[in-house]
Structure 1
Amino acid sequence: MIARQQLSRLAISIVIYRPDAQLLAQTVASVLTSAAQIPDCSTRLVLVSNDDGSAGARIVAETSPSAEVLHLSGHGNVGYGAGHNMALHAVESDFHLILNPDVVVDTQALAAAVDFMRHHPDVVMLSPDARCPTTSGRLFLCRRMPRWSVLFARGFVPARFRRRLRPALDHYEMRDVLGDTLLWDPPLVSGCFMLARTHALREIRGFDERYFLYFEDYDLSLRLRSQGRIVWHPSVRIWHSGGGAAKKGLRHQWMFVRSALRFRKKWGLPL
């Protein structure tokens, strides 16, 4: 147990583009409720609208009218990583939570996460235990460097046709090592919930904005390893409603391919 310390500052950034109103309302309500449970911590929500901004601002105002919210809009659709970078430099904080607008955060999740990072100064980013909201099954956010066959399956093959690639997909998602204990230093983590130390994010200049969408979280994971350790924490629980590019049509599939090629050129991928 540590002594009472100086007030910490938590920034929460959510980037939206034509958001689902119900999902965004659930995300905002849950994350602010969870943040309120953190001892000795102030919270600032940064909503980054990559659309015209009116819908997101209205949803947040109706959901949490007393919350301290900084709304950034009018910059156009600059992409996921660039939007979060705007939030990263808009407010001063000690911890920065990168959050998708389709995530529900458990009431005690952020208290557990911040407490862990306060006790482990070598940890620069924490990834949570994610669950499917309809089945409560685990979503595997930690990943190994993928092969091209795995990326093809993830990006284009519907789940019901992936049986022959299941062993490779399971290895990619680290199902052989992910259980009920801490997992230290996973090579890659998915970006729906990334709690990081602000100084570490700023040291590497945040996301690489050349990724418009997809793979920017993997790239960030690899670059953050130069600043300290990454950990997956089984007691930090979220529920994530997101889906892969295969479910979202040709435009998303094209963005997936373009980002995959950029990631391969920068980091290399096995065939």
Structure 2
Amino acid sequence: MKNLDIPIIPDVATSTSTVLTVSVVVYQLDEPVLQETLTSLLEAAYVAFQQSQLAHLRLYLVDNEPSGANRPVLEKLLSRCQRQISGLPLNTHLLSGHGNIGYGRGHNLALQHCEALEGAGNQAAFLILNPDVTLEPESLLEGLRWLLGHAETVAVAPAIEERDGHLASACKRYPSMLDFFLRGFAPTRIKQRFADRLAHYDMHDLPEDKPSDNIPIISGCFMLFRQSTLSALKGFDPDYFLYFEDFDLSMRARRFGSLTYLPQMRIHHLGGNSARKGLRHIAMFGRSALRFFTTHGWRWS
């Protein structure tokens, strides 16, 4: 595995600020969308830095494309990040050459790399971020402030707005096989008949004007963790290649404290290019579902 590192800037965290590591796993690269993601991340990080909630930012791009074709573009994007916002304490890393090892294992590489760096301390946070998500300017300020002020919380989930403006589900109750069939495979007319059930599963009853604690499962597109918790969990279970890895991580993280829905921490889902969901993806979905339910318990209806 090759990695491109910018020399480390010493971390100087205070009692009211944290070192934040951000990991973005890239497979099928959509350069304009990823550029939007990185720009919004840096802008949100600078707001948190100005408000003394962030001491230092470490940004990892994890290249899961096997051929190496993404590497020149990712190098260019990271170089641009270094010049984009003057005064933001930032160092960047590109991890590549390991092939397509899966979503969770890709983030685990970044976690293992940052654990080897000195200076993170107990205040460190780790953001698992999709490459097609943009952050509102105060999102990291709100998320880091909550983590620093609420010792019982081990991870926070944001309010997610889709491109069409409606709120997507950032939180879920423990699923049944029926829930998954309805969500993933049922035609629209069947979903409409079970709309109340799906809304309950997606926790649409959560208030949007205040935080909610003890969420069962949070979305893997944006998971802001205490790094100490994520390290204790050893990150994602590497046996999940794709699908259900965020469900499993959420279930295991709840043993350490609360997963909190923080609606004032807002993000946008841009919906970048994605692989066509053919038979291979259905097979991966089935294998991951089998592992998840075998590990955490079956529920049929």
- How far apart are residue 7 of structure 1 and its match? 4.9
- Name 1:113's counterpart in structure 2: 143
Distance 1:112 1:106, change over 3 A: same
- Counterparts of 1:209 and 1:178 in 2: how far apart (Å)? 34
- How far apart are residue 160 of structure 1 and its match? 5.8
Task: Identify the range of structure 1 (144-153 vs 72-81) with the bigger mean alpha-carbon deviation.
Answer: 144-153
- Name 2:60's counterpart in structure 1: 46
Task: Provide the alpha-carbon RMSD of the alignment.
Answer: 2.1
- Greater Cα radius of gyration, structure 1 or 2: 2
- Counterparts of 1:7 and 1:147 in 2: how far apart (Å)? 40
- Counterparts of 1:22 and 1:250 in 2: how far apart (Å)? 29
- Name 2:195's counterpart in structure 1: 166
- Name 1:261's counterpart in structure 2: 290
The answer to whether the 8 A contact 2:215-2:258 is kept is no
Give the letter for the 1:18 counterpart. Q
The answer to whether the 8 A contact 1:15-1:49 is kept is yes
- How far apart are residue 65 of structure 1 and its match? 4.2
The answer to whether the 8 A contact 1:98-1:191 is kept is yes
- Counterparts of 1:55 and 1:156 in 2: how far apart (Å)? 38
Count of residues in correspondence between the two structures: 266
Query: Of residues 110, 130, 141 in structure 2, which corresponds to 1:100?
Result: 130
The answer to whether the 8 A contact 2:139-2:266 is kept is yes
- How far apart are residue 8 of structure 1 and its match? 2.0
The answer to whether the 8 A contact 1:156-1:246 is kept is no
Query: Of residues 81, 87, 102 in structure 1, which corresponds to 2:104?
Result: 81
Q: How does 1:47-196 map to 2 (within 5 A)?
A: 47-51=61-65, 52=68, 53-54=70-71, 56-58=73-75, 60-61=77-78, 63-66=80-83, 68-91=91-114, 92=117, 93=120, 94-133=124-163, 135-157=164-186, 159=188, 161-196=190-225
- How far apart are residue 89 of structure 1 and its match? 1.4
- How far apart are residue 59 of structure 1 and its match? 5.3
Q: How does 1:228-267 map to 2 (within 5 A)?
A: 228-242=257-271, 248-267=277-296
Distance 1:261 1:25, change over 3 A: same
Give the letter for the 2:287 counterpart. R
- How far apart are residue 238 of structure 1 and its match? 0.1
- Counterparts of 1:246 and 1:56 in 2: how far apart (Å)? 20
Give the letter for the 2:205 counterpart. D
Q: The residue matched to 2:288 in structure 1 has which SS? A: helix
The answer to whether the 8 A contact 1:13-1:48 is kept is yes
Distance 1:167 1:11, change over 3 A: same
What are structure 1's unaligned runs of at least 5 residues? none
Task: Identify the range of structure 1 (144-153 vs 8-17) with the bigger mean alpha-carbon deviation.
Answer: 144-153
- How far apart are residue 150 of structure 1 and its match? 1.4
- Counterparts of 1:178 and 1:84 in 2: how far apart (Å)? 31
- Name 1:23's counterpart in structure 2: 33
Verify: 1:12 aligned to 2:22, yes or no.
Answer: yes
Q: How does 1:31-42 map to 2 (within 5 A)?
A: 31-38=41-48, 39=52, 40-42=54-56
The answer to whether the 8 A contact 1:25-1:59 is kept is no
The answer to whether the 8 A contact 2:236-2:245 is kept is yes
- How far apart are residue 154 of structure 1 and its match? 2.1
- Counterparts of 1:146 and 1:56 in 2: how far apart (Å)? 39
Give the letter for the 2:23 counterpart. S
TM-score normalised by L of structure 1: 0.91
Structure 1 stretches of at least 4 aligned residues deviating more than 6 Å after TM superposition: none
TM-score normalised by L of structure 2: 0.82
Task: Identify the range of structure 1 (36-45 vs 57-66) with the bigger mean alpha-carbon deviation.
Answer: 57-66
- How far apart are residue 256 of structure 1 and its match? 1.5
- How far apart are residue 159 of structure 1 and its match? 4.5
Verify: 1:200 aligned to 2:210, yes or no.
Answer: no
- Counterparts of 1:19 and 1:158 in 2: how far apart (Å)? 30
